[in-house]
Amino acid sequence: MSKLTVGDVVELIGRAAPWAKAAGWDPVGLQLGDPAGSASRIAVCHEVTETVVAAIEADPVDLLVTYHPLLFKPINRLVAGRSPVGRAYRLLRAGTSLAVAHTNYDAAPGGTADALAGVLGLEDTIGFGPLGSADSIKIVTMVPEADVDRVADAMARAGAGRIGNYRSCSYRTEGVGTFEPDSWAQPTTGEAGRLNKEAEIRLEMVAPRTAEAAVVAAVLEIHPYEEPAYDIFDRRGSDGMIGRVGRPPGGTTVRSFAQLVASALGGDLRLSWAGADFNLVGVVPGAGAEFIDAAAAAGVQALVTGDVNHHHARRAIDLGISIIDPGHARTERPGVAALFNLIAEAVSGTIDLTGIDPSPWEGIR
């Protein structure tokens, strides 16, 4: 039996929580290391804190799987220091690769959102809050039939055509294109001054917003026409739902449910009470204030999420939504535990570092 590699573990996570489902701003997947490297020893953590790195240095592993990304933006130097870049340097020096499962795991079945809803006892849950709705596009171009495979291959190499665990995905329909070239044009087919009809294929491929420029450039470079026609459409709500909405346990009020949340997640919380109506609860792991309007549209009357500020809470009250805020990290803990279980069930001996709390806050009474 061949040895387990870092790439094998990344593929395992991707099957449960497809990487393409992550928000466009979210740097998920392998951040550090070699996909072909050994993954004999694996650890899982919530966030790559100084404490986590020190634990890895004391007892090295081949691969560290984290929920929160270590590096959110591209870097131009890798040097020691008390910073995310410095922690990346120390992991590499220890021979440890780093993989990130974040918003793709939030939206995945059985992932962070489902885990949070589960520990709070919500029933009949469904998704709400499209994740990355502005970060996914569809690019459509019309291509002569003889050239369609060549154009599709170029678009795929530029980043288009990825849907979950599948590559080079496209949709093709036959049609007829018409055009009348000016006298100074240089058409691939047809004659200047005459209306020409060309059998064409309408080629459609999805792509992350970040790949838009590269895919368009690929079309313009390889398309046989002098002036290729193409369209770009936003794919609203195409990348999964980051939140869950469900029914709370029977016989509870907003305040008693808030006490249940505090008990289930540990520690204190903040409650912004909007009224007595209480039939549907929404949950968004991490920072979910941006989904307050989506929660209202889903009929939510109490929202459990973190990082809610004064103005967010006021907006929620106006919409008839009570806010239960246990803090950013606490709303993610059930999902991080589920991530550990996912890895541990597949790879024996996986080390659990998820108990190292990444929250920078300490309650003072």
106-117 confidence digits (pLDDT tens)? 999 999 999 999
Nearest to 41 by CA among 354, 357, 343: 343
In the predicted structure, residue 296 carries a pLDDT above the cut 70: yes
Boundary-marking domain end, from 234, 267, 283: 234
Report if residue 357 sits inside a domain.
Answer: no
Residues 98, 11 share a domain: yes
Determine the Cα–Cα distance for residues 156 and 179; give it in Å rounded to an integer.
27
Q: Helix 328-346 and helix 112-119: axis angle, to 10°?
A: 110
Mark whether 46 and 180 lie in a shared domain.
no
Mean local confidence (pLDDT), 323-345: 97
Task: Please check whether residue 127 lies inside any domain of the structure.
Answer: yes
Q: Is the pLDDT of residue 277 over 90?
A: no
Number of domains into which the chain is organized: 3
Contact indicator for 239, 129 with CB cutoff of 8 Å:
no
Claim to verify: residue 215 and residue 303 sit in the same structural domain = no
Q: Could you tell me the CATH number of the domain that includes residue 288?
A: 3.40.1390.30
pLDDT tens profile 26-56:
999 999 999 999 999 999 999 999 999 999 9
Which amino acid type is present at position 114? Answer: D
Give me the residue label for tokens 């020409």: 196
% of the chain at pLDDT higher than 70 = 96
> pLDDT-based confidence at 1, cuts 50/70/90?
very low
What is the domain extent for residue 258?
Answer: 109-131+240-326
- Inside any domain, residue 362: no
Cα(133)–Cα(41) distance, integer angstroms: 37
Amino acid at 96: T
Task: Name the band, by pLDDT with cuts 50, 70 and 90, for residue 193.
Answer: confident
Under a CB-based contact definition with an 8 Å cutoff, are residues 53 and 141 in contact?
no
Kindly state the average pLDDT of the residues 278-295.
Answer: 96
Q: What is the mean predicted confidence (pLDDT) over 220-234?
A: 92
Q: What is the pLDDT of residue 236?
A: 54
Q: What is the mean pLDDT of the chain?
A: 92
* Structural domain contains residue 363: no
Residues 322 and 337 in one domain: no
Predicted model pTM: 0.73
H helices within the chain, ranges in order? 6-16, 50-58, 84-93, 103-107, 112-119, 148-157, 212-222, 254-265, 292-297, 310-318, 328-346
Q: Are 99 and 14 in contact (CB under 8 A)?
A: no
Q: Is the pLDDT of residue 136 over 80?
A: no
Do residues 50 and 121 both lie within one domain?
A: no
Mean of pLDDT values over 282-311: 96
Residue 254 pLDDT exceeds 80: yes
- Distance (Å) of CA 292 to CA 8, 60, 63, 155, 308: 38, 42, 36, 36, 10
At 162, list the tokens. 């990825």
Exposure letters 266-287 (e unless 16+ CB within 10 A, then b): eeebebbebeeebebbbbbbbe
pLDDT given at position 25: 86
> In the sheet that 302-306 helps form, which strands lie side by side, from edge to edge?
123-130, 241-247, 281-287, 302-306, 322-325, 270-272
Q: What is the pLDDT of residues 2-21, one digit of tens each?
A: 799 999 999 999 999 998 88
- Is the residue at 153 inside a domain? yes
**Longest C-alpha distance within the chain, in Å?**
83
Confidence band, pLDDT 50/70/90 cuts, at residue 237: very low
254 & 278 share domain = yes
* Residue 286, CA distances (Å) to 45, 100, 165, 323 in order: 15, 15, 26, 14
Domain co-membership, 308 together with 275: yes
| 238 confidence band (pLDDT: 50, 70, 90) | very low
